[in-house]
Structure 1
Amino acid sequence: MTATPRYAHPEAIVDTRWLADNLGAPSLRVFDCTTYLHYETGTGRPYRVESGRGDYDKAHIPGSAFLDLQGELSDRASPLNFTMPALDDLAARFAAKGIGTGTRVVLYARKNPQWATRVWWMLRAIGFDDAAILDGGFDKWSAEGRPTETTETRYPAATLAARPRPGLFVGKEEVRAAIGDAASCTINALAPDLHSGANPRYGRPGRIPGSVNVPALSLVDTASMTFRPPEAVAAAFAAVGAEPSKRILVYCGGGIAATLDAFLLHQLGYPDVAVYDASMSEWAKDESLPIERD
């Protein structure tokens, strides 16, 4: 009899009741990670990035601070959005926001948990393991009528030394090398129209050859913004041939939605999962890289 799938790291997902009961704990650090993407045509760019700071200022979970992914936690020298900084630099940026030794971190977002999972995956890449995603994010918190505030929170700076985990983020060469490799499975976390090539948002329409499609939002109950049950998530990955024995590479448009897939693969116990950081923002524009479409 096959065991019922379960989430292997339940400490990395907290619910709204847990957070409500623990707000104010001295070591707790809660962050709103919201970013918005505004899709535009005729501009030569796939989307316009808007920080969620405006909505944070209007209402947020009491005691939570704000993390600006593009403005504070990305490589400002990169021509692409949301590029990972050097790991020591990233650790220093997190420490300045109050994340460090002895802190327990809870991350949430609005409208889409992918912004929280991106920050979680970045923290994991630098070796910080005491972080969790608020299941349902601000949407569920607000729908339950829980309290909010408008006062900004700033935590005191902390001490955080990077303990890098190599291989959690990869570049185009590793992704290219995985094409046709039976020991690897490359997953596209974008919507089906982007995977098929019907939508040319990122430049050349299509997908990385041989990749399979598990859209990030298909793994979320869009009514509550909570993660789907582990058996449903496990079935979605199994259906495309993503086996735990394989090296799993996940991509999307800019390394954000991919982290939602990657987070849940990690929760299911997959031991070897990586995110292609630049994703289709790089791949679709590089004519030397192969692409396929339906």
Structure 2
Amino acid sequence: MPATQHYAYPDAIVTTEWLAGNLSDASLRVFDCTTYLRYETGTGRPYRIESGRADYDKGHIPGSAFLDLQGELSDSSSRFNFTMPDAQDLAARFAAKGIGDGTRVVLYSRSSLQWATRIWWMLRAIGFDDAAVLDGGFDKWSAEGRPVETAETRYPAARLAARPRPGLFVGKEEIRAAIGDAKVCTINALASDLHKGENPRYGRPGRVPGSVNVPALALVDAASLTFNAADAVAATFGAVGADKSKRILVYCGGGIAATLDAFLLHQLGYEDIAVYDNSMNEWARDESLPIELG
């Protein structure tokens, strides 16, 4: 039998048990990263963005602060949602929230882990490596009857120097250049109906030509919202030809779900992974870019 696959960076995934036992650590910075996408029809936009702040105010993990991805950590000058700011700018925004040298960061979200993995990938892109995702998120914490509080936490500002890793996010030109390149595997993290072109949510229905489909939802246990076991995740990526010798480009609707795929690829030891930041929000609306159905 093949050797059991293990995640390469176990410190980047923490359990609810671990977090409960470490909440008193003065160096710990815990953040609720929740955003909701409210899907609408007939509005000309794929979804309405709703901050998770209201739910944070109703109850959150004790001592945790809130990060508003669209409102505080995205490029407000971009015509697309959730676009990464400049690395230096983003580092300053994170520092203002209390993330910096000497801190250990734990990120969690509600209903979906992808909001926590998005912030994790952004931190990694600017060179901050002492961050982890809470496996199961707030849903698991709450289901276990663990304590919550309503008082807002604000951490003191920190110092954070950006050490950018520019290859972790890419734009449409690199995605287009990769079409037909046998050395690249392009992965769509959206649901299969969007991949096949059965759902026109983002404009022109379809996918980047030649891309394969690994929905982010397929990598997480639906009941517990915990990451699937490493063996199962490795088999899922292996089945679509995502070989470790290839550059892996991951996209979705707006660069959010793609980070869950990217996070677990990194955990499996893949070394050349990038997320297409604006994803189908950009690709589907640009008539000059090719699209594939079926």
- TM-score of the aligned structures, taking structure 1 as reference length: 0.99
> Distance between the aligned counterparts of 1:39 and 1:86, measured in 2?
29
Q: Does 1:245 align with 2:231?
A: no
2:187 corresponds to which letter in structure 1? I
> Distance between the aligned counterparts of 2:161 and 2:137, measured in 1?
28
> Distance between the aligned counterparts of 1:207 and 1:270, measured in 2?
23
Partner of 2:74 in structure 1?
74
* TM-fit CA distance, 1:93: 0.1
Partner of 1:261 in structure 2?
261
SS at match of 1:263: helix
* TM-fit CA distance, 1:223: 0.4
Partner deviation per Cα, 1:173-218 (whole Å, 9 max, x = no partner): 0000100000000000000000000000000000000000000010
* TM-fit CA distance, 1:2: 3.4
1:234 corresponds to which letter in structure 2? A
Equivalent residues, number = 294
> Distance between the aligned counterparts of 2:10 and 2:49, measured in 1?
32
Partner of 1:112 in structure 2?
112
Partner deviation per Cα, 1:10-56 (whole Å, 9 max, x = no partner): 00000000000000211000000000000000000000000000000
SS at match of 1:133: strand
* TM-fit CA distance, 1:137: 0.3
Partner of 1:178 in structure 2?
178
* TM-fit CA distance, 1:118: 0.1
Alignment of 1:2-151 (within 5 A): 2-151=2-151
> Distance between the aligned counterparts of 1:281 and 1:3, measured in 2?
40
* TM-fit CA distance, 1:3: 2.6
SS at match of 1:205: coil
> Distance between the aligned counterparts of 2:34 and 2:118, measured in 1?
11
2:7 corresponds to which letter in structure 1? Y
Q: How much identity, in percent, do the aligned residues show?
A: 81
Partner of 1:281 in structure 2?
281
> Distance between the aligned counterparts of 1:108 and 1:13, measured in 2?
10
1:118 corresponds to which letter in structure 2? R
Partner of 2:224 in structure 1?
224
Partner deviation per Cα, 1:209-268 (whole Å, 9 max, x = no partner): 000000001000010000000000000000000001100000000000000000000000
Q: Does 1:154 align with 2:180?
A: no
Partner deviation per Cα, 1:107-135 (whole Å, 9 max, x = no partner): 00000000000000000000000000000
SS at match of 1:70: helix
- TM-score of the aligned structures, taking structure 2 as reference length: 0.99
Partner of 1:207 in structure 2?
207
Unaligned runs of 5+ in 1: none
SS at match of 2:133: strand
1:113 corresponds to which letter in structure 2? L
Partner of 2:166 in structure 1?
166
Partner deviation per Cα, 1:76-100 (whole Å, 9 max, x = no partner): 0111100000000000000000000
SS at match of 1:95: helix
> Distance between the aligned counterparts of 1:39 and 1:146, measured in 2?
31
* TM-fit CA distance, 1:291: 0.2
> Distance between the aligned counterparts of 1:220 and 1:76, measured in 2?
31
| Structure 1 runs (4+) greater than 2 angstroms displaced | none
SS at match of 1:176: helix
SS at match of 1:187: strand
